[in-house]
């Protein structure tokens, strides 16, 4: 069972024998589905007075006591979809960072703190949340601003240790969210599907197939390294993929500039691609889809992945979500691609 509502075009692009459309409106639509094995109507509400207070250990190792969760602030985009699916009482969040597929994005009752580049801390003051789920783009100095604006809130730091694997982080963080909001069963169901998707993708993958990560941004095709490159490195970690090119790079949101000729020389059997423009293009701005850029590149024309159309483009809103639902969707798509490539 998929975490996304099944539609004919709800999956991202996986081109080998068949190309599926990757429209932003339909890709990665996990916000409208219930996790397998859960019943949101019968599950206890997060604000159940009998459940609080509780003390949890956050991802940074801090012990935090939560007196109530009647008003929730959330800044970490990796948990926006959980907040929507679990119907959490969110009162303040950076709605500018939400996927257009998330039902919370247009909820005017949620005070909008804007992006991490220009956060509006006064919205935290106005909302006065009981608990704040903070991390990722709102980390560092921005996190300090959040704490100062809402000093009475239970502050949950979702930043894990640097040496934590992707699997470890997803498992621990989703489990923590379940503990905080009295949704342990729902959290476990989500993780069960995530781990099943990992197992399926590993079983379908032939290590003889070499894989390269790419990021398309600003109409350019850039390299995403297998160690910490945006998007691709997640799946190199989860699936132990064989890199076609193992050159180190950066965590840049636009990837690293490597000549197309150098990328072509790596002769990748499979390309996995983050289309950043699909997620962040300005309204009215026409962005060239990743698949069109890659197929239109003369330099890449003879690369096995391009010749065989073994190209997987992440869901159009992946750059905005990067959560367990997006990861599961990609894993399921890669399973199909790897199975077809055998």
pLDDT digits (tens, 9 = 90+) for 192-220: 999 999 999 999 999 999 999 999 988 89
The share of the chain scoring above pLDDT 70, in percent, equals: 81
Domain 54-161 falls in which CATH fold?
Rossmann fold (3.40.50)
Residue 42 has what pLDDT?
Answer: 38
Residue 285 has pLDDT above 70, yes or no: no
Residue 145 has pLDDT above 90, yes or no: yes
Q: Do domains 54-161 and 205-341 have the same CATH topology?
A: yes
Q: Which residues of 125-161 are buried (b: 16+ CB within 10 A; e: fewer)?
A: eebebbbbbbbbbbbeebbebbbebbeebbbbbbbbe
Domain residue ranges of the chain, discontinuous segments joined by +? 54-161, 205-341
Residue 27 has what pLDDT?
Answer: 36
Domain 205-341 falls in which CATH fold?
Rossmann fold (3.40.50)
Backbone angles phi, psi at 223, to 5 degrees: -90, 140
Between 67 and 228, residue with greater pLDDT: 67
In the block, residue with structure tokens 């945006």: 230
- How far apart CA 316 and CA 167 sit, in angstroms, is 22
pLDDT digits (tens, 9 = 90+) for 41-72: 433 345 567 999 999 999 999 999 999 999 99
At a CB cut-off of 8 Å and minimum separation 6, what does 111 contact? Answer: 91, 92, 93, 123, 126, 127
**pTM exceeds 0.95:** no
Between 282 and 58, residue with greater pLDDT: 58
- How far apart CA 259 and CA 119 sit, in angstroms, is 36
Q: Which two tokens stand for residue 267?
A: 């002769």
């Amino acid at each position: 069972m998929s975490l996304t509502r099944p539609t004919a075009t709800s999956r991202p692009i996986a081109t080998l024998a068949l190309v599926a459309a990757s429209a932003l409106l339909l890709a990665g639509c996990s916000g409208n589905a219930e996790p397998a094995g859960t019943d949101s109507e019968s599950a206890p509400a997060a604000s159940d007075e009998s459940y609080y207070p509780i003390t949890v250990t956050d991802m940074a190792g801090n012990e935090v006591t939560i007196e109530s969760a009647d008003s929730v602030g959330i800044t970490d985009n990796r948990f926006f979809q959980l907040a929507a699916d679990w119907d959490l009482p969110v009162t303040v969040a950076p709605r500018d960072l939400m996927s257009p597929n998330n039902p919370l994005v247009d909820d005017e009752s949620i005070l909008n703190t804007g992006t991490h580049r220009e956060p509006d801390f006064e919205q935290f003051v106005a909302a006065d949340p009981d608990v704040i789920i903070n991390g990722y783009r709102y980390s560092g100095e921005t996190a300090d601003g959040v704490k100062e604006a809402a000093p009475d809130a239970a502050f949950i730091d979702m930043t894990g240790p640097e040496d934590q694997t992707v699997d470890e982080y997803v498992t621990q963080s989703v489990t923590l969210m379940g503990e905080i909001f009295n949704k342990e069963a729902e959290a476990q169901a989500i993780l069960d599907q995530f781990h099943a998707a990992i197992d399926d993708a590993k079983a379908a993958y032939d290590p003889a197939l070499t894989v390269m990560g790419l990021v398309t941004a600003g109409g350019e095709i850039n390299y995403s390294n297998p160690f910490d490159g945006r998007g691709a490195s997640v799946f190199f970690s989860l699936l132990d993929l064989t890199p076609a090119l193992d050159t180190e790079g950066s965590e840049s949101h636009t990837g690293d500039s490597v000549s197309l000729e150098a990328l072509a020389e790596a002769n990748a059997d499979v390309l996995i691609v983050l289309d950043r423009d699909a997620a962040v293009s300005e309204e009215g701005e026409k962005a060239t889809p990743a698949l069109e850029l890659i197929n239109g590149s003369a330099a890449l024309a003879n690369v096995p992945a391009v010749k065989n159309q073994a190209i997987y483009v992440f869901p159009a809103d992946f750059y905005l979500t990067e959560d367990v639902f997006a990861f599961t969707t990609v894993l399921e798509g890669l399973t199909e691609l790897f199975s077809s490539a055998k």
